[in-house]
Structure 1
C-alpha cells in the first residue's frame, strides 16, 4: 500500500492492539513500550486515548486487554455477512413473486455500495453488481437510507445546494429537491427512483434496521418503466415486507 498518506499514529495503535490481542491481560505499559519500541510518553498517550475510546481496558494490575468497542465492531463485521446470507434466502422468494431483480446496498458517504442482488433473467442487465457504487441522491436505495440521517449528518454530506453528478435528465439536482423527497420517504417508509439513475428503469426501496432501530442498509426492486405502473404497488408492498423481515426487531 502507498504510504504517501500514511498516518503513523494509527499504525502504532494497530500494532498495540495486535500485541494485546496476542497477550491479553499480560502486558503493562512498560512491556508494550519495550516490545514495540515506542517511547513511554507516546505509549502513555496512545493507551490513554484508546482506553477512553474503549478500544482497550486497563486491568487492576495495570495490564491491558482489548476493549468492548472492538467486540462491537467484530459483531458488526460478521452481521453484514449474516445480512447478505439472509437477504439471499428471503429475496429469492420475493423476486419470484415480483419477477424482478432485488438489490441490497449500504450507504457510504454520498454513495450507495451494492452488496448483493437476486437477479431475474432479462435481456437487459441492471448495472448493480456487488461492489459497484452510485450517487445516493440518484437512487431509491440511497434515499431510503439518507432519509433517516439526523440534521448534522445530512448537512455534513450535503453542504452545497447543487447535487452532482446527474445521471439522467430526471436526477435530482438540488439539496432542496432531495430534502423534499426524503420527507416523503419518512412519511411513507419507502423511496422511489423514477428514471433518476438509469433511463427506462424505475425502482422502489425500503430501509433495513438493526436491533436499535438504526438504518444499516436498504433493499430495492428495479423494473422497466413500462412495467412500473402495473407493478408499483405490489413492488412497494413486497419490498417493505422484505425489509421488515430482514430488520432485527
Structure 2
C-alpha cells in the first residue's frame, strides 16, 4: 500500500514537472517562480522545487532577476558564446554591450555588460517586443523574421522620442538592415543615447544580435567605425552571412 502511494506521488510530481516545462515553452521570454506558482495553483515553495528539478536535469536555465527559461542546447551555447564576446566588447570599446535573441515570439534581452558610468537605454524589460522598433538590437532581430514582424510588435508602435520610427519608416529601415547587415538607433528610444547592433543568424536558424550603446556625440564621430569593429568581433561560425 505504501509503495503504491509513493508511486502515485512520484507520478503526480512528474506530471507537474512536465506542466512547468510546458509553461516555459509557452513563454520563451521566461517566467518567475511566482508566475509558475500562480499558473499551477501551488505554493511558491513547490514552484521553486519543480523549477530546480528542471534545472538539475538540464531542461531549464535560471537567468538574472530570477527568470527561468527553457534550455535549448544549441541556442544556449550560442548565447553563452555571444555573452563572452559582448563582455570583451564592453571592455575594449568602453561602451555598454547587449546580447538579444529571438525565443519563439519573444525578443529577449539575454545580457548586458557595463558599469554605472556607461550610458545605455534605461527601463528595459527582459522582453523587448514593446521597444524593439526603437532599439538597434531589436531591429537587428526583427529584420530577419519575415512577415511575422507585425505579430511581434505592438499596434500602434509606442513613440518614445521624436525620432522613434513609424511603421512605414520601420519597414524601410528593416530593408536597409537586411542589405547592410548593421542596425542603428539614433535617439529613437532615449534622447542622448544611440546604439549600433549586428544581426546574427546561426547555422541552426537562431536569430540573435550583439549591440553597443554610446552617447550621441560619440555615435556621430565613431558610429560607423564601431559597427565595423563590432562585426569583426563575432565568431565566423555564428556570423550572419
Matched, 1:114 2:109: yes
Across the two proteins, how many residue pairs are aligned to each other? Answer: 179
TM-score (norm 2): 0.61
What SS does the corresponding residue of 2:211 show, helix, strand or coil? strand
Question: 1:210: how far off?
Answer: 1.9
Aligned to 2:203: 211
Larger Rg: 1
Question: 1:81: how far off?
Answer: 3.2
Matched, 1:149 2:150: no
* TM-aligned CA distance change 1:17 to 1:93, over 3 Å: closer
Specify which structure has the bigger relative contact order, considering alpha-carbon pairs within 8 angstroms and separated by 6 or more residues: 2
Cα distance per residue 1:163-183 (max 9 Å; x no partner): 42111111112x211110011
What SS does the corresponding residue of 2:108 show, helix, strand or coil? strand
Q: Give distance in 1, aligned partners of 2:120 and 2:185.
A: 17
Aligned to 1:241: 232
8 Å contact 1:110–1:137 — kept in the other structure?
no
Question: 1:185: how far off?
Answer: 0.3
Q: Give distance in 2, aligned partners of 1:125 and 1:159.
A: 23
TM-score (norm 1): 0.60
* TM-aligned CA distance change 1:128 to 1:158, over 3 Å: closer
* TM-aligned CA distance change 1:197 to 1:125, over 3 Å: closer
What's the RMSD between the two structures over aligned residues?
Answer: 3.5
Alignment match of 1:196 (pick from 188, 195, 200): 188
Q: How does 1:161-172 map to 2 (within 5 A)?
A: 163-172=156-165
Aligned to 1:55: none
Cα distance per residue 1:186-231 (max 9 Å; x no partner): 111011100001110111111122214x352111100000111222
* TM-aligned CA distance change 1:77 to 1:248, over 3 Å: farther
Q: How does 1:210-229 map to 2 (within 5 A)?
A: 210-212=202-204, 214-229=205-220
* TM-aligned CA distance change 1:132 to 1:195, over 3 Å: same
Q: Which runs of 5+ in 2 are unaligned?
A: 1-13, 19-58, 60-69
Q: How does 1:1-249 map to 2 (within 5 A)?
A: 15=15, 77-107=72-102, 112-122=107-117, 124=119, 126-127=121-122, 131=126, 133=128, 134-151=130-147, 153-157=148-152, 163-173=156-166, 175-212=167-204, 214-245=205-236, 247=238
Q: Which runs of 5+ in 1 are unaligned?
A: 1-13, 19-69
Q: Give distance in 1, aligned partners of 2:125 and 2:237.
A: 18
